[in-house]
Structure 1
Amino acid sequence: MFRHSMRALLVSLCALTAASQAATAMAVAVPTDHHLAMRTAAPALRARTLADLSTAMKGEAYAFAVYGLFAAEADGQAQAAKGKLVDQPRPAVGELFRATARTELDEHLHEAAALAGVVGTNAANLRQAINGETYEHQVMYRRFAEQARKDGDLEAAKLFTEIAADEGRHREAYRTALTAVTTGRGTIPAPPKADVVSVPAGLPKVRAARTKANLDTALHGEALAHARYTLFAARARQTGNTALARLFEGTAGVELHEHFAGEAVLAGLVGTTKTNLRTAITGERTEATSLYPGFAKRATAVGDPAAARFFRDTAADEAKHASAFQQALNQLR
């Protein structure tokens, strides 16, 4: 579920570019889990390894987003505790969450993306984004909204409907940008601005199990969209297309600070800092002892040694992260 380490970034975006140049063209069909399947896959890797890398990217992106919220909560509790002789989080807890969050995105996700060949040309990246936004606009969020209304979760239905409309606007902006990139006609739209949502600690605001499951799916999708668009923006900047980079960055900001955050409020994703640390510890230990070792074993068995090495290294990182979070929790008791 979560992951991170304190190493410097091992795989640069230049490596992502090199990997993507060897990638195959993306299929047009819209998949069920579009943000994961929208991939310009590196054909040298086996299908099972690519699937495991997709799972890794999804978890790393989600961890980055969640740990950012946990960091903000820790900061707030630390500020409230100033001058009081009570058991409250130290400011260092927020820093720990932020540092591990950056590693999730800048190291682990980037490495997995390089191996999987996620980043393509600007045109290919725009087509990936268009397919994903189309699925969310026309299918996923509309279905989630309808189901939430039937289940009596009207607040969730309203949010899902609003996000569906946003995704439609994102799609149209990306379509316009694709025309500009491929034909040289027209201009790339200005980036959207996020309506930043604050996410305080709190209980879930939805009741139905189906709504909760849909929120979880949506949260993971928005987190991964943010991460992918960040990579696409870096690719655009490498090619000198600053306007396209800004469009990807602005949309990534909406996905994270508005959509993910709004869904996090409804899901009750953030608890007290002690609760958040326990959540992180559980996730890190699972990845360190089960998830990534299993991925490494499979990659080795099918002859994908580079991926197996990535999975083993990441498992070792996660064990260190679990220990760091456990130490922070012990200091708060």
Structure 2
Amino acid sequence: MFRHSTRMFIAGLCALAAAAPAAPALAGGAPPPAPHTATRALHTQTLTGLAAAMKGEAYAYAAYSLFAAEADRQGLPAVGRLFLSTAQTELNEHLREAAAMAGTVGSNAANLRQAISGETYEHQVMYRRFAEQARADGDVQAANLFSEIAVDEGRHRDAFRTALTSTTTGRGTVPAPWKADVVSVPAGLPKVKAARTKANLDTALHGEALAHAKYMLFAAHARQTGNTALARLWEGTAAVELHEHLAGEAVLAGLVHTTKTDLRTAVAGEHNEATTVYPTFAERATAVGDTAAARYFRDTAADEARHAAAFQKALDRLH
């Protein structure tokens, strides 16, 4: 898992259901990893750890994807492939397994209600507040972007409401999927000055990454249940969250640096997850008897240690 070393990781955890359904198929039809199946209701602190893991793994996927693109631009395709392969592990193994254990994916209707709640908060509260604060702090670019995203999230909410009516009553049709206005994220310095704006960008980046990941899970479930129109809506919205919203925020935040710096950041983040974050989650899960979750946290810690070593090896080769 990745943590951007220059910013605080904002948890912002959402409450998750305790029941754990079978993991959905991966995008493209690949089978999911073998789950660490939970056989009993999970303790609240275990669910909190799983929620934090999902948010971190989703952000890792997004950040490493951006780092991979920059490595390619710098003529370092091997490093780009390393970032991409690690990103896929974070999303398609670590996050999906945590989501299955936590019961994040429900029925199509439940998934839509969950998304409507999140989009409503971002539309009515979060992004509007961020825009007001950025404008007050003189970060006009950030204020404008936050305002634009607030409008988008309102549109997403309305589309999901229409889809919910179609799904639950059979009346009407699921809206057509959104088309993302893809934003390129080259290496660069932050384009904001206020500490509050930087913190809000960090919160927004993690939120958009998690929304992308969850919507892709919801899309897989919709396809499994034969609702291809809903699956396309989820996928289109997920693309907007990642390639438009998160990417625009990443440009302002100065998320991407030189590949050497990106590798150093990745090494530090993976080492922290391997030695501190996941072992702590494992200890807490063990203490309350959530043995399957504890095993998941230990196994993920071991994966992150291997990721740290691989990134360090790639960094050594660049010196």
**C-alpha offsets along residues 201-250 of structure 1, whole Å, 9 cap, x if unaligned?**
00000000000000000000000000000000000000000000000000
Q: Distance in 2 between matches of 1:260 and 1:40?
A: 26
Q: Where does residue 132 of structure 2 map in the other structure?
A: 146
1:196 aligned counterpart, secondary structure = coil
Map residues 61-76 of structure 1 onto 2, 5 A cutoff.
Answer: 61-76=58-73
Relative to structure 2, which stretch is displaced further, 295-304 or 43-52? Answer: 43-52
Q: Please show how residues 2-151 of structure 1 align to structure 2 within 5 Å.
A: 2=2, 36-37=13-14, 39-42=16-19, 44-78=41-75, 90-151=76-137
Query: Which of 133, 157, 165 is the matching residue for 2:143?
Result: 157
Q: Describe the SS at the equivalent of 1:37.
A: coil
1:56 Cα deviation after fit: 0.3
Instruction: Tell me the distance in 2 between the aligned counterparts of 1:287 and 1:109.
Output: 14
Matching residue's letter, 2:173: T
In 2: Cα distance, 1:224 partner to 1:117 partner = 15
Rounded to whole Å, the distance in 2 between the matches of 1:193 and 1:161 is 19
The within-5 A match list for 1:163-242 is 163-242=149-228
| Partner AA of 2:14 in structure 1 | A
- Shift of residue 39, structure 1, vs aligned partner: 3.0
Matched, 1:311 2:297: yes
Shift, 1:38, TM fit: 5.3
One-letter identity of the residue aligned with 1:151? D
- Look up the match of 1:86: none
Between the aligned partners of 1:122 and 1:128, the Cα distance in structure 2 is: 10
Q: Secondary structure at the match of 1:2?
A: coil
Q: Following the alignment from structure 1 to structure 2, what is the Cα–Cα distance between the partners of residues 39 and 312? A: 21
Deviation at 1:40, TM superposition (A): 3.0
RMSD of aligned residue pairs (Cα, Å): 1.3
How many pairs are equivalent? 293
Q: Secondary structure at the match of 1:119?
A: coil
Letter in 2 for 1:226: H
Give unpaired runs (5+ residues) of structure 2: 4-9, 20-39
Do structure 1's residue 320 and structure 2's residue 306 form an aligned pair? yes
Q: How far apart are the structure 2 equivalents of 1:96 and 1:130?
A: 36
Structure 1 unaligned segments of length 5 or more: list them. 4-31, 79-89
Q: Give, as a single letter, the amino acid of the residue that structure 2 aligns with 1:107.
A: E
Structure-1 separation of matches of 2:129 and 2:79: 39
- C-alpha deviations, 1:146-183, integer Å up to 9, x for none? 00000000000000000000000000000000000000
**Partner Cα distance (1:285, 1:116) in 2:** 25
Runs ≥4 residues deviating over 6 A = none
CA contact (8 A) 1:69 1:270 kept: yes
8 Å CA contact 1:38, 1:128 repeated in 2: no
One-letter amino acid of the counterpart of residue 41, structure 1: A
- The alignment's TM-score, normalised by the length of structure 2, stands at 0.90
Q: Report the TM-score, using the length of structure 1 for normalisation.
A: 0.86
> Structure 1 residues 278 and 116 mapped into 2: Cα distance closer, same or farther (>3 Å)?
same
Matched, 1:253 2:239: yes
SS at 2:84 equivalent:
helix
**Contact (CA 8 Å) 1:46, 1:304: kept in 2 or not?**
yes
1:63 partner amino acid: A
Superposition pairs for residues 290-305 of structure 1, below 5 Å? 290-305=276-291
Asked whether the equivalents of residues 39 and 128 of structure 1 are also in contact (C-alpha less than 8 Å), the reply is no
| CA–CA separation in structure 1 for the residues paired with 2:110 and 2:17 | 8
CA distance in 2 between counterparts of 1:267 and 1:115 reads: 33
Quick check: 2:11–2:52 contact (8 Å CA) kept in 1? no
Among residues 264, 267, 280, which one is paired with 2:253 in the alignment?
Answer: 267
Cα deviation, 1:58-100, whole Å, max 9, x if unaligned, reads: 000000000000000000000xxxxxxxxxxx31100000000
Tell me: CA distance 1:213–1:291, structure 2 relative to 1, closer, same or farther (3 Å).
same
Contact kept? 1:144, 1:211, Cα under 8 Å: yes
Whether the 8 Å contact between 1:119 and 1:231 is mirrored in structure 2 is yes
Counterpart residue type for residue 211 of structure 2: A
What amino acid is aligned across from residue 16 of structure 2 in structure 1? R
CA drift at 1:37: 1.2
